[in-house]
Structure 1
């Protein structure tokens, strides 16, 4: 059953009565340091009274709010900060369902998430979005859904399992809990006035909701200004200070991210810490965090600590993870601060810089204490249609993973996808590749990459080359997490192991597997859409750790390399990507040839 919190209108009379002492509060937190994100103050020796899941009184003394049945929590001079908000993220990137993702992040102090389920939208369409939205609504924290905007993200350059239409967007805007439109990834479409993209934006704005941005280009000239004129209210694809400044100057929020593999906070937060720009235009987010990061390192508390370590004043950083986010989505009167009338989302911590999360309250209820969750996170009964998504025409073979060279040549120059550590963009490289027995035989740090179609049973396998993983053994890594169309990406140095890995995922219904010298070394089963597991986050994280160890044993030293692997088919982020239709030059948004010249 959906977990709802009474509206302010429903509770106003009681909140007022509690504040003046005419009725008793449900809970009073006594003797804490009230961190006020409205005024950027720390107010010692203050009390907070909670009633009906909302803050009723915030002041120096709340004894008048305490009755015989009031729960009293002694803050003992700890900081009382608002629950943390993630302004942009994809639950599917955690390889977890909404319930298990919530279970993983609640002990880290996350009480609100703004999620864009465009991963499942590419596989299952609007029905998949509805399933994510329904399970999100069951959780004891606030999970707002942004309706995905771009499936496919680059029409004509990839094939998805389902497409999202303007009619789908208009329908979703009527659902309760839909907060806006997910990141508008087809930025060339917006820049050139594509009618479908503009119709989706118009439907969102007509509903009075925010349009998420995604401008993955370093060009800050007329193209960027055209995109800004198209209506996106925020953008998280910036990688340098100039990107953050340009977005804020155009009235967009610069969402700066620290995910499992995206380290874009340090290079952009200087717009505030050094240039002195108004921090109200900046929001902290994660974008993509896998389960290992959530279990071992944290969630928004990790981002907040990192921002502080990058030189940001702790109170300013806290604003970027609370009130700035709430205000951006039109929810300042609901979430994002400790103030009367707002949902009672609060954290007790003894250190404002290192942020140990000692007690978490969401909607007035204790949901975690001393690192352990204290509430249930209900699961949806996911239907068979969401668990049977490997629609492949046949088993693949070794021959599917060979790249034939022109007859008679011993070497050939080819384009190579270059992985950039801790960044979403790739490089467009060229390399001379040896030819043996008529096929390209990459050496050094160049591996084979293939995309195996899994939605329409076409049997299509697209081949290319990738550099940067550092594999030194005969191996293959296959994954059905392959942003954004989520076919199957296989990277390897052994065509035989590439075939074994691909067929293994077809057999189990999706996931990630690593094979070395003919044997499986690691496996993460992701039976829901080939993207998620409904197992506990700790179990998925343990398998992710095993996968990381297997990747390192195969020679890969990249930080969170599995995230880099999963984005190699993301055909809206420069420079070079792979899709089911071929190799894509994202700087031109056009298919390009793999082979350049023979020698």
Structure 2
């Protein structure tokens, strides 16, 4: 449980005594420039006094708070900014456990995360969510958990390892680290009044907590209004200025994301920088960040820098990653600003535009300096059942990946999932493909995709086609990270390589593997739920770098193509996806045939 900090009420007597000068602070920071995100000011020379992990005094002179045992830090003219908050993210996307994710992002200045563990929910259900929640509360920074809302993400279109019920949501609302409901991806269910979706949102609101949104449709008309009426309080699926404007006009918070593959800040922040909308209703987040991004590029500091580079005022950009986020989740009296009583999460930086993260304090403790973590991030004792989650049922062969053509056909017009670089949506494409001995062949830019069932050992394989990766030669890439159902996704140009990739993942208990010309050229082992490693981020990132190089060696030129690969089964984002039940037309939320017939043309 969260043992690292007492509540404001518990510490109020000491906070008052220190602020009044009757008692002495644990730490005083002098000689800096305080960035006040409450008033949008930079206050030269303002000082802070910290006791029991909270700010006691914030003002021009904290000398009355200093005693013989007080540590005094000279900020040497640097800026004091609040610890950064990530408003929406999935820890599992980093291929790391909460402990190792925290260890990776703390040196980048992230001291608060609002996480939705719906990836593990699909594999291990409510028990898996509890494991993530419990490890999160063991960390030296603030990791709040949103109870996943949609497992499966679209009932009737996929089969998950476990399902989340309204009763599960109601139970989780009483857990100490639960801050709200995870993104409500089943927007058609909400719009159509699905009783379970409405019950989940009601349980959240009855607990006084926040309902996360996910509206992936371009329709901003009546369906969008119906969705917002259901209670979703934020949305991170916007990709254009009109999306951001539509959301804030209806009282939602527009969460603008910059992840490893999502570049949606630049296209939306003009709602603030050019249209002049109130920036209080905009929040920065990452959604999905791979370990390589965290190690090499940063986390929320990277997002804030990017927002500034897009023309946003630096202090406003900081507000979008601190006080705006805290306020949205009802925590503005707890964190998100440098103000009396709040958790003493503070960063020292020498420049507000380039945002170097010199020193990081969380709850009054120095947790990182000069890019190095200075505290431990404790690990949860993950049980064996969390490490044995890949159940294929049989050893697969090349024949399992054959796609039979309709009788008598020499060519077919196949529906093809079209990958779009740096975006979550796919295109619904078609391709005329040849038939050899009754089996449809991938050709040119079109290769095969297969979903291998891995939760119930059915041995089922669903085959289809995908384009946009640019793969050439004989190759395959397989992954047990396949949002959101997290079956196994295999993409390849050679069916024998596809079988080798699938069998290899069964052998190692999950992860990512790449095969070329019959040999494995990259492997990331993800033994926890087939989603995460409890190894350090730098080690996982090194393996991920090898994976990226291997994808390039197979002809792929897309930026962060693995993120695109991992979303090919996400049956709540248009246009075409694959599931264990077949090909899914997400524009209609219904199953569709793999081949076009004359009536469809």
The TM-score, its normalising length taken from structure 1, stands at 0.99
| Secondary structure class of the residue paired with 1:380 | coil
1:23-62 paired onto structure 2 within 5 Å: 23-62=23-62
CA distance in 1, matches of 2:561, 2:417: 15
CA-to-aligned-CA distance 1:499-520 (integer Å, 9 cap, x gap): 0000000011000000000000
CA distance in 2, matches of 1:399, 1:73: 67
1:65-464 paired onto structure 2 within 5 Å: 65-464=65-464
CA distance in 2, matches of 1:67, 1:551: 59
| Secondary structure class of the residue paired with 2:140 | coil
Instruction: Find the counterpart in structure 2 of residue 505 from structure 1.
Output: 505
CA distance in 2, matches of 1:20, 1:72: 18
| Secondary structure class of the residue paired with 1:361 | strand
Instruction: Find the counterpart in structure 1 of residue 563 from structure 2.
Output: 563
CA distance in 2, matches of 1:2, 1:159: 35
Are 1:533 and 1:540, in contact at CA under 8 Å, matched by a contact in 2?
yes
How far is the alpha carbon of 1:2 from its aligned partner? 4.1
Are 1:412 and 1:597, in contact at CA under 8 Å, matched by a contact in 2?
no
How far is the alpha carbon of 1:597 from its aligned partner? 3.8
Instruction: Find the counterpart in structure 2 of residue 474 from structure 1.
Output: 474
CA distance in 2, matches of 1:157, 1:582: 8
How far is the alpha carbon of 1:395 from its aligned partner? 1.0
CA distance in 2, matches of 1:334, 1:408: 69
| Secondary structure class of the residue paired with 1:347 | strand
How far is the alpha carbon of 1:209 from its aligned partner? 0.3
CA distance in 1, matches of 2:325, 2:345: 14
Are 1:523 and 1:547, in contact at CA under 8 Å, matched by a contact in 2?
yes
| Secondary structure class of the residue paired with 1:145 | strand
Instruction: Find the counterpart in structure 2 of residue 576 from structure 1.
Output: 576
CA-to-aligned-CA distance 1:269-308 (integer Å, 9 cap, x gap): 1110110000011100000001000000000000000000
Question: Segments of 4+ in structure 1 off by > 2 A?
Answer: 1-4, 406-410
| Secondary structure class of the residue paired with 2:15 | helix
| Secondary structure class of the residue paired with 2:128 | helix
Q: How many matched pairs? A: 599
How far is the alpha carbon of 1:342 from its aligned partner? 0.1
CA distance in 2, matches of 1:157, 1:548: 31
CA distance in 2, matches of 1:317, 1:546: 34
CA distance in 1, matches of 2:483, 2:476: 19
How far is the alpha carbon of 1:404 from its aligned partner? 1.1
Structure 1: which 5+ residue stretches go unaligned? none
How far is the alpha carbon of 1:437 from its aligned partner? 2.3
Instruction: Find the counterpart in structure 2 of residue 488 from structure 1.
Output: 488
CA distance in 2, matches of 1:335, 1:68: 28
| Secondary structure class of the residue paired with 1:596 | coil
CA distance in 2, matches of 1:510, 1:77: 49
Instruction: Find the counterpart in structure 2 of residue 538 from structure 1.
Output: 538
CA RMSD of aligned residues (A): 0.9
Structure 2: which 5+ residue stretches go unaligned? none
How far is the alpha carbon of 1:460 from its aligned partner? 0.9
CA distance in 2, matches of 1:122, 1:408: 40
Are 1:3 and 1:139, in contact at CA under 8 Å, matched by a contact in 2?
no
| Secondary structure class of the residue paired with 1:183 | strand
